[in-house]
Amino acid sequence: LASADDWLGSDDYHWRVEGTSVRVEGTSVRVEGTSVRVEGTSVRVEGTSVRVEGTSVRVEGTSVRVEGTSVRVEGTSVRVEGTSVRVEGTSLRVEGTSVRVEGTSVRVDVPSN
């Protein structure tokens, strides 16, 4: 089970984005998402933890752009190879404080044998 939750908060806005959930049987994948805090023009990104049982994992991290008071977080795709699952994550746009969230990138390579 893979899920991603994104939290966004600022002085004027408080947002919760509940991400895309994926269930892969045979391969257990758990993704505990990326939290983002926007306070004025300062940004805190608290990373992504991944638990995978019996497979190798590559995590391709979260990139953050700060433009004035705008924040862009790119990512949240989950790829499971061999089981063939592709998830491209949650997008959020807030105008005025201008926030765009596209989650965290996780890649899971399933052994062929």
With beta carbons less than 8 A apart as the criterion, state whether 59 and 31 touch.
Answer: no
Written as tens digits, the pLDDT of the chain (113 aa) is: 333 444 444 444 444 444 444 454 555 555 555 555 555 554 555 555 555 555 554 555 555 555 555 555 555 555 555 444 444 444 444 444 444 545 555 555 555 55
What is the number of other CB atoms lying within 10 angstroms of the CB of residue 45? 16
Report the alpha-carbon distance of residue 34 to residue 4 in Å, rounded. 7
Report the alpha-carbon distance of residue 66 to residue 37 in Å, rounded. 12
pTM > 0.85: yes or no: no
Please give the C-alpha separations between residue 85 and each of 30, 61, 64, 78, 109, in angstroms, as whole numbers. Answer: 14, 19, 25, 7, 11
Identity of the amino acid at 37: R
Residue with tokens 């390579």: 109
With beta carbons less than 8 A apart as the criterion, state whether 50 and 30 touch.
Answer: yes
